[in-house]
Structure formats: C-alpha cells, structure tokens
Amino acid sequence: MLNKITVVGAGNVGATAAQRLAEQELARAVVLVDVIEGVPQGKALDQWESAPIEGFDTRVVGANDYGPAAGSELVVVTAGIARKPGMSRDDLVRTNADIVKQVSQEIKRHCPNAIVVLVSNPLDVMCWVTKQVTGFPRERVFGMAGVLDTARYRAFLAEALDVSVEDVQAMVLGGHGDTMVPLISYTTVSGVPVTQLLDRSTLDKIVERTRNGGAEIVAFLKTGSAYYAPSAAVVQMVAAIARDKKRVLPCAAWLEGEYGLSGIYCGVPCKLGRKGLEQILEVKLAAEEQAALKKSADAVKETMAAVKL
C-alpha cells in the first residue's frame, strides 16, 4: 500500500479510476484534482461516503489545486479534452499538450519523487511531454494503452471462442491508435496457439475491431468515450506498482534502442514494480509484426512533430 495516490482529472476516467483505487485500498489516501470548482470535491465526497458499504478505509479527497497532492508517490494523469467536431488531430495534440505541460509542472513542484502514469491522449506524445517537462527518468514516466488494447483484444477473442477471458493470454504493442500491433504469434488460449483455434480471416477481423475499439464505443455513446475499461486498465498498472507485483504488462515506455527504436514512447512489454518501470522485455517478433511496430512508431513521431514545448 502506498501512502498517497493523486489522480489528475475528475472526468469519467479519472473519477472511476479514483473509486477503483480506493476500493482496492492501494493507498491510504486518494486525491482527486480538477480545475472545475466543486467537481473533484463532490465526487470525492460521494466516493468516501461509499466506503462503509464497500468496506474500504482509503480516504478520498478532492481539490482544485495540488496542495493536498504534495508528496504523492504515484500520480495518474487523465486530464485533457476530447476531440470536438471540426478539430484537427494536430489541434487536439497541441491543446492537450498545453494541459499536460501545466499538470507536469505541478507534479514536478509538489510530487518530485512520484511515478507518473499517463492516460491522456494522444497517449504516447503526452508521455513524452511529461518526461520532458518533469525531467523524470523513464522508469517514472510511462503510459496506459497496451493494457486497455490487450483487454479489448482478449475480450473479443473470448467472445469468438466462447471461452473464459481468463484463459486468453495476449499482448498488444505499438502506439495507442490505428497502428497498434496485436501479437497474434504470442496469443494463446491456456497455452494453445490461437492460430490453431481460429482461422486467419477471423483473427484479422478481431485485430481490426481491437484497433477501432475506442471508436466503436464513441459511436454508441455519441457524446462521450470509454471509461470503465480504461480506468480498470490504469488501476491494474497501479496495483502492480503499489504491491510490487513485478507484473509484465504492455505499457507506453520511452525507448532507447529496444526493438530498434529510440527517442519515442511506444507500447512494449514492461515489468512493473515498486520502482515503476523496472525492465523492458525484448521479445522476438515475426517480420510483419516488427514492420508494423516500426510503422506505429513512425506515426507517433509524426504526432510529436505537431507539439512545440
């Protein structure tokens, strides 16, 4: 258990993550920070009042400033805006980069020793902004994308095979977006290669659905985006860190030559423990998977180019 975790952004993802963190008692206190007056305070109070029913003692508090967040060992960043009609992707990147830059400055000032887990989109670029602004080492700045994308991939496979999601082992690498790379060659069902259970055409359709997983939900909701699965994904990462589990999870990590890539954030297998990102695991990829990973990294670099720090 940590002493204090801060969640920045009290929207659907942030507020739901705060509730899950409290319910799992991953810290003695969870601080929910947001710029909108009253929103983090109201949501935090509502969550704390659920404690006697849910049976957790983690204290949840809300704030519009970072004073209560001071000394947090871990910070989850969900702040940012959703893309609006008529807004270009570059406009979205620049707007969210400005928001995440301000958040990062506050984290550096109030939580200088924190591990920072990014959820804000576009994810890989927002991780880079945070690393640049805070000056924190890569071990303490990484992002949630692969865990969510992998969960979607596993859910769709379990549905197609009519098996438990618990028995589907898989991993999705690359950037968080259309160029993500589900590793079919490493996908198994209780150790059985998925290629022995599903034909390639079916697998390709599942891969495509995974890549469009967020857009599919947005199309249904119309005025919002996913938050149950994203919040669950980031809490799984936080749990691995808080409990020093040494879990191997796909995360957006700063690469320094791994997989032939450098100077970018990209989704790769990471070992998470109490020190944060404790190891990047390099696995042998099929030629088409390696090519797809490079294509995904190139897309991240293009997006980075739109940001001026």
Q: 78 with 119: CB under 8 angstroms? A: yes
| Nearest in space to 265 (alpha carbons), one of 93, 126, 149, 137 | 126
Outline where DSSP puts E strands in the chain. 2-8, 27-33, 59-63, 74-77, 115-118, 141-143, 168-169, 172-173, 181-182, 188-189, 192-193, 247-256, 262-273, 276-280
Backbone phi, then psi, for 122, in 5-degree steps?
Answer: -70, 120
Q: How far apart are CA 152 and CA 207, in angstroms?
A: 10
- Respond yes or no: is residue 110 known to be catalytic: no
E strands present in 35-163: 59-63, 74-77, 115-118, 141-143
d(CA 71, CA 304): 30
Q: Which of 4, 131, 154, 176 is the catalytic position?
A: 176
Reduce the secondary structure of 212-254 to three states and give it as a string: CHHHHHHHHHCCCCCCHHHHHHHHHHHHHHHCCCCEEEEEEEE
Residues serving a catalytic function are 176
